[in-house]
Structure 1
Amino acid sequence: MKQNRYIIFLSLMLIFAFTGCEDFLDVNVSKDSPTTITVDQALPTATFYAAQQIYDHAEYSVYLSQALTTASKSQTGSYAYSGGWEFLSMNRHPQWRRHFYDLGANINEMIYAAEKIDSRNFILIGRTIMLQSTMLTTDAFGEMPRSNAYTSTSPTYDSQEEIYEWMFQEADELVKLFEDKDWTHNSANIPITEKMDRIYRGDLKKWGLYAKALRARLWLRKLPNWENNPEVCRKIVEMADQVLDDPDWEEPRYYYPGGTNEQNCPWGSSAPIVNAWESRGNRLASSIPTRFFAYAILGAYQIQNNVRGYALDPRADKLMTGRDFGGSTSMRWLESNIGMETSMKIINYPDLFASGGNNPYVDNKGYIAFLTDEELMFIKAEAQYWAGNKAGAYNTTYNAVIHNMERFGVVESELLGNNAK
């Protein structure tokens, strides 16, 4: 009997040893919680977080560049950067998570899944988004893990020089692959619908042009101190023109349908907070234009009238509108990071949601632009300037400004009335 017990016990031990608990009882793998995703599931997530990442960087930058400030004097807490430059009380920055987890981890899974079925269109789009993400992240943080970020439990930091070297190589390779029909017209490519890709609806020609636009943005980093020579300037102008002059070029925009939480544009009045603690909802409702932005940049007048408007720049009353509080519709501003006086209220300052204006960015049903026509024009103008073509740089800059004014609905009479021409 004892021998039989021993044999039974030994048999059970062998079963556990060779099958493991995963296969024997299936306790490690839930059929309801798969650890892999399909390409059609991953791409909508990637494009959504690519747009969210643009917002995250812009939301920080609008305060750090001292374009906006807040009514409060507090410089601590999770929004410390909006009232000053105090970062010691902050322990999470959404841009870092966006790049390495929300985008990086999901796009790696998407590319892995696409490689298994040879659907190369998903690979091209995923790599393009990661190029954009890497560029934004290293420009904000400098050194960062890249080469072994997903292969090591203790990834090392690549130098910014190494990261830029990779980005130049990646941009060149992507441009070539988008022109390779073995990739763009591969018979195994799964058709991409608008539901999967809210930006270009799977149009690889447009994604290829966006890759070229990213390459132009990348090359601009060479000026003025890295490789500032006529040949580099010529290439940058050529890269920008290749995109702007192509009839298939379309700004990469992520449109929001409006609704609840993340269905709303991050800059809209709903101020959605995505993923709770690792995100920042916009603070336009409690923010104020700085003297630098309102007076020095927009040319705001001390005294407004109906003829000339708020400022020399006719976009001023499209970006923000007076609240008509206490009979005053003036465009008040505030020095950066000092907080408003105790006798003042936030309603004494302009409405940054521009309820009476025409700002396409602060609508709940608005859009996030990954890169604009104007940016490409300014890239071209910068290269023209350093090449010595100052007249060309002026004309390109002028056209970019007019194009931006038209985006905000500024009509020609407003331009003439403000002596902008």
Structure 2
Amino acid sequence: MKKLLSLVLIALAGTTFTACDSFLDTNVNPNAPTDVPVEQKLPNALVKTVNLETGALNQLGAVWVGYWSKATDGPVNTSLFRLEETYGVEAMSFDRDGRPIWEDSYTTLVNYKDIENSAAATGDLAYVGIAKIMQGWHFMRLVDLYNNVPFTDALQGSKNVTPKYEDGQQVYEGAMNLITAGIEDIKAAPALSKKPVTDDVIFKGNLTLWVKFANTIKLRALLRQSEAGREGYISDELAKIRQEGSGFLGVGESALVNPGYQVSAGLQNPFWDAYYRNQAGALTTGYNTLRPTAYLVQQYKERNDPRLAKLYRPVNGDYVGVPLGATAADFNMAKTSALLGPNENGNQPAALLKSAQQPSVLLSSFESLFLQAEAAERGWLSGAEQLYEEAIKESFKYMGVPTGEFVAYNAQPSVNFALAPNKMERIIGQKWLALNSISSIEAWNDFRRLNYLSRLPQSLQSPSADPEFRPRRLTYRQSEVYTNSEEVAKQGTIDPFNSRVFWNK
């Protein structure tokens, strides 16, 4: 692992988790990609992907879907996700320090396209397939946030610096096709061709898991379109998944990324480094400022949820959250619950903070099982109740809750699937509790898709008292407005509070 880490560290940049340069970030010139073997390029790209997911995207989703708030006297209270809590979407398009979602996505897409081209030239189809799958992932994520984006004309560097924008639905379909092609490439890889092993910092060369991962991404994408009048398309794509036959990520099968995190400056797990302790063991300003929302804590309490005690530190025997946007002194650091870490948990791993070397979560087994449970409830698969229960058990396992606590938890009318008056809401509610601070952007996507956002308390810093006033998407980056102005103008006026991506009807 140390050897792999040395290969990945081709160009170590800054280590601030919400800044534009991330842990193990390798900047690639799209006009002249680094001429190194694909086994050195792959881990760089995969780490870049997970850093974006667990960094800027996780922060964005965590604030807008009701997970994160701040202690009112926290050391970075005035700066930590300030634009998110004030719904400052337009200001985000100008902000260069912390939310480079557009730029990092396309830079990473260039990385994967370079891997695809290099591997195709040598007939190494396993690498080609992985690169296509990950391109599909990123293009879908761009649509989730911006709707219409460059696709066919993208990734050409100086050959086309003003790529045309394509309809979000068409890009989603193109991304699905990329993932399908990636699966086919992996399965067609010749026995003697080069295949990833330790350079695959997710599955360690297990190509069967790569195919399951790809199918899970496809299922997520189909569920994303479940409220958009896409029944025919969804049916056709589900048939392809069934025909392929590998299924989805299941119990014990998570996509976890670990390039060799170490207790050293710039080499720790980025979430740990930002929201717990630095390499010297000192608590970070992010840790001292970040707090759960009062609403989130209440939802765990109402269900007697044992995950609460694994997630946060009690204050005088109770768990206390902060309303998003609060400024009152009653919500200061001393009176509210911080994240629980090993130092506060008898040197045992906690729910989110396990160790400086812990892997980053790209797509968890419990998210996959919740996706399958929803698909089953919609009649696409079978066994909704069993999948729902397995998802909760996997979440318990990840957060360190003893297995034996599931039975009593699941017996409660507020949790039990069979007793749910609305089974879809029950699935999404438990999924929301499970994805807390792990894949927050996916929880926000669910709440947008199903129009649940108004169920969440509005930020006290909202510029509007209308309970429906919530960000629905991002606006195009000013860097893109300056360099590709004609194409951006063709997309019309974008109102981030009313303009919606194609799947959010």
TM range (shorter): 0.7 to 0.9
Q: CA offsets per residue over residues 181-240 of structure 1, 9 Å max, x none?
A: xxx2253x334331x221122232222221122122222223133234895797599599
Evaluate the alpha carbon distance shift between residue 226 and residue 362 of structure 1 in structure 2; reply closer, same or farther with a 3 A threshold.
farther
1:314-393 equivalent positions in 2, closer than 5 A: 314-322=306-314, 324=315, 328-339=316-327, 341-342=328-329, 344-354=331-341, 355-356=344-345, 358-363=349-354, 364-387=356-379, 392-393=383-384
Aligned partner of 1:167: which letter?
A
CA distance in 2, matches of 1:191, 1:242: 19
- Report the counterpart of residue 179 of structure 2 in structure 1: 171
CA distance in 2, matches of 1:85, 1:350: 24
- Report the counterpart of residue 402 of structure 1 in structure 2: 393
1:247-286 equivalent positions in 2, closer than 5 A: 250-255=253-258, 256-271=260-275, 283-286=286-289
- Report the counterpart of residue 18 of structure 1 in structure 2: none
- Report the counterpart of residue 5 of structure 1 in structure 2: none
3-state DSSP class of the match of 2:272? Answer: coil
Report sequence identity in percent: 15
User: Would the aligned equivalents of 1:298 and 1:316 in 2 still touch at CA under 8 Å?
Assistant: yes
Q: Indicate yes or no: 2:138 matched with 1:147.
A: no
Q: Indicate yes or no: 2:157 matched with 1:157.
A: no
- Report the counterpart of residue 23 of structure 1 in structure 2: none
Unaligned runs of 5+ in 1: 1-32, 273-280, 301-310
User: Would the aligned equivalents of 1:68 and 1:288 in 2 still touch at CA under 8 Å?
Assistant: yes
- Report the counterpart of residue 39 of structure 2 in structure 1: 40
- Give me the TM-score of the superposition, normalised by structure 1: 0.74
1:48-127 equivalent positions in 2, closer than 5 A: 48-56=47-55, 57-72=57-72, 79-90=81-92, 91-92=95-96, 93-101=99-107, 103-127=108-132
CA distance in 1, matches of 2:244, 2:373: 10
CA distance in 1, matches of 2:179, 2:130: 12
- Give me the TM-score of the superposition, normalised by structure 2: 0.62
3-state DSSP class of the match of 1:176? Answer: helix
User: Would the aligned equivalents of 1:252 and 1:369 in 2 still touch at CA under 8 Å?
Assistant: yes
Q: CA offsets per residue over residues 248-301 of structure 1, 9 Å max, x none?
A: x832111253223442222214559xxxxxxxx993431221122111x2125x
Tell me the CA shift for residue 174 of structure 1.
2.3
How well do the aligned residues superpose, as a CA RMSD in angstroms? 3.5
- Report the counterpart of residue 211 of structure 1 in structure 2: 214
Evaluate the alpha carbon distance shift between residue 225 and residue 320 of structure 1 in structure 2; reply closer, same or farther with a 3 A threshold.
same
- Report the counterpart of residue 225 of structure 1 in structure 2: 228
Which of the pair has the greater relative contact order for Cα pairs under 8 Å at 6+ separation?
2
Aligned partner of 1:160: which letter?
G
- Report the counterpart of residue 197 of structure 2 in structure 1: 193
3-state DSSP class of the match of 1:69? Answer: strand
User: Would the aligned equivalents of 2:374 and 2:384 in 1 still touch at CA under 8 Å?
Assistant: yes
Higher alpha-carbon Rg: 1
Q: CA offsets per residue over residues 94-117 of structure 1, 9 Å max, x none?
A: 32222111x122222222222332
87-96 vs 127-136, greater mean Cα deviation: 87-96
Tell me the CA shift for residue 346 of structure 1.
0.9
CA distance in 1, matches of 2:407, 2:212: 35
Evaluate the alpha carbon distance shift between residue 236 and residue 113 of structure 1 in structure 2; reply closer, same or farther with a 3 A threshold.
closer
User: Would the aligned equivalents of 1:68 and 1:287 in 2 still touch at CA under 8 Å?
Assistant: yes
Aligned partner of 1:263: which letter?
L
Q: CA offsets per residue over residues 126-169 of structure 1, 9 Å max, x none?
A: 11121112222221222221111223111222210110120222
CA distance in 2, matches of 1:125, 1:39: 11
CA distance in 1, matches of 2:213, 2:380: 28
CA distance in 1, matches of 2:40, 2:223: 35
User: Would the aligned equivalents of 1:124 and 1:178 in 2 still touch at CA under 8 Å?
Assistant: yes
CA distance in 2, matches of 1:237, 1:117: 28
Evaluate the alpha carbon distance shift between residue 81 and residue 232 of structure 1 in structure 2; reply closer, same or farther with a 3 A threshold.
farther
Aligned partner of 1:40: which letter?
E
Aligned partner of 1:375: which letter?
E
CA distance in 2, matches of 1:142, 1:113: 30
- Report the counterpart of residue 7 of structure 1 in structure 2: none
User: Would the aligned equivalents of 1:244 and 1:373 in 2 still touch at CA under 8 Å?
Assistant: no
CA distance in 1, matches of 2:209, 2:304: 37
Unaligned runs of 5+ in 2: 1-31, 277-283, 417-505
User: Would the aligned equivalents of 2:322 and 2:331 in 1 still touch at CA under 8 Å?
Assistant: no
CA distance in 1, matches of 2:126, 2:204: 12
Q: CA offsets per residue over residues 287-344 of structure 1, 9 Å max, x none?
A: 221122111x2125xxxxxxxxxx611110111122x5xxx131111211123x2255
3-state DSSP class of the match of 2:116? Answer: helix
3-state DSSP class of the match of 1:253? Answer: strand
CA distance in 2, matches of 1:76, 1:226: 42
User: Would the aligned equivalents of 2:213 and 2:249 in 1 still touch at CA under 8 Å?
Assistant: no
CA distance in 1, matches of 2:52, 2:218: 19
- Report the counterpart of residue 27 of structure 1 in structure 2: none
CA distance in 1, matches of 2:114, 2:235: 40
3-state DSSP class of the match of 2:385? Answer: helix
